[in-house]
Amino acid sequence: MPHQDLRQSERFLTQYTPPKIDGDFTGKHIISVEQFGRRDLQILFDATISIRKRLTQHDRGLLHLTAGRLMATLFYEASTRTDLSFQAAMRHLGGEVVAASNGVQFSSIYKGENLADTVRAVGCYADVIVLRHPDVGSSYEAAYYLDLLRSQVSRQPVVISGGDGVGEHPTQALLDIFTIFDFKHQIDGLNITLVGDLKHGRTVHSLAKLIARYEAQDTTVNFVAPDALQMPRSVIEFLRQKNIAVRETDDLQDVLGETDVIYWTRVQEERFEDPAEYDAIKDRFIMTPPVLAHARPDAILMHPLPRKNEMGTPADHDELDADPRAVYFRQMENGMFVRMALLAKVLGGLWV
């Protein structure tokens, strides 16, 4: 598939400033966790809990919060959870979903159309575009061009990022922080440990920054990674500016015993230029039942998934999954509820 120059999208990181939520989600692009503050997250948590209750208890399928609205999915990278949870969320809300038949590889992208044009074409037909793209800054670029489009067409389309390369994955961070709140009833005072590929992992970039945006009090974030896969310095600085205590180590045992939230991640094979480098590092951190045995009895084990060998063998997976501390399927389900709340809020249909 033709692929535009990386720098093409990256320059929009400085050229386009995403709107702050400031208590009002309506019509706003969702492209970075930096748009959110503590109050916005509390609003989203409340809305998510309310929607989950409505969907799972009484009026299942009877939500009409986005009736008559259209969501398009535009995924230039592989996805299972993000794509399907967004689609399920929109349908549960009473909205409709459109996607290019046979995926983006058979759309005009195949003819060499650039992102700026494709996203505006989709914005002519859909109220919300969920975009996953391999280039950092691609969602900023989409937001920039959709704002230009808004003055020309009847719709006021918004873009929601489903991940921009090694940059950010804001909605994953929203569901992750909600899941922490769901199990621990607070974000303040926690000891949170992020493990694995902190260099390339967009989920951990966004989650770490969102904990800082929440302005969590007395919270410690531990980064556990081999030297070659450390968290970018810019993210660490972002946390320190918000007085989040940060600890970096390459030895999980330094922090595991005091951790409330363990966030495990996959080594992002597709982001390595040299396969030998990936092979040398891929087995550095493996979560197995004997490793989990050293964790607190009330700790939770999270993972954005998909998983490969960073959670051992399929037999290890089964054993870990049976441990009550493993919450990644609940985390995954929460993804749909959080995305429902977000879609309803952005499309302006939600009261809470």
Catalytic residues: 81-82, 111, 132, 169
Q: Which of 172, 191, 222, 334 binds ligand NCD (CB under 6 A)?
A: 172
Contact between 305 and ligand NCD per CB under 6 A = yes
Subset of residues 183 to 202 that bind ligand NCD, contact rule: CB under 6 A? 202
Closest CA to 319 of 335, 301, 299: 301
Closest CA to 203 of 116, 130, 264, 140: 264
Of 6-14, 21-29, 31-39, 302-310, which segment contacts ligand NCD by CB under 6 A? 302-310
Q: Which of 48, 87, 203, 220 binds ligand NCD (CB under 6 A)?
A: 203
Q: Residue 145 and residue 149: Cα distance in Å, rounded?
A: 6
Contact between 133 and ligand NCD per CB under 6 A = no
CA-to-CA dists, residue 196 to 208, 227, 231, angstroms: 14, 11, 10
Cβ within 8 Å of residue 274, ≥6 positions away: none
Contact between 266 and ligand NCD per CB under 6 A = yes
Closest CA to 128 of 306, 348, 334: 348
Q: How many CB atoms lie within 10 A of CB 342?
A: 24
Q: Select 82 or 138, whichever has its Cβ closest to ligand NCD.
A: 82
Of 47-55, 141-149, 283-291, 299-307, which segment contacts ligand NCD by CB under 6 A? 299-307
Q: Select 81 or 199, whichever has its Cβ closest to ligand NCD.
A: 81
Token pair 């575009």 in the structure block, residue:
129
Closest CA to 120 of 132, 129, 111: 129
Q: Which of 165, 304, 312, 349 binds ligand NCD (CB under 6 A)?
A: 304
Q: Read off the amino acid at residue 18.
A: P
Q: Read off the amino acid at residue 155.
A: R
> Sheet harboring 300-302: ordered strands across?
245-249, 220-224, 191-195, 261-264, 300-302
Q: Which of 28, 69, 169, 199 binds ligand NCD (CB under 6 A)?
A: 169
Contact between 81 and ligand NCD per CB under 6 A = yes
Opening angle at CA 48, ends 219 and 150, nearest 5: 105
Of 20-28, 30-38, 151-159, 301-309, which segment contacts ligand NCD by CB under 6 A? 301-309
Q: Select 10 or 310, whichever has its Cβ closest to ligand NCD.
A: 310
Contact between 163 and ligand NCD per CB under 6 A = yes
Q: Which of 35, 82, 206, 219 binds ligand NCD (CB under 6 A)?
A: 82
Size of the site for ligand NCD (CB under 6 A): 11
Q: What stretch of H or E contains 262?
A: strand 261-264
Q: Select 150 or 271, whichever has its Cβ closest to ligand NCD.
A: 271
Of 10-18, 204-212, 237-245, 300-308, which segment contacts ligand NCD by CB under 6 A? 300-308
Q: Which residues form the interface with ligand NCD (CB under 6 A)? A: 81-82, 163, 169, 172, 202-203, 266, 304-306
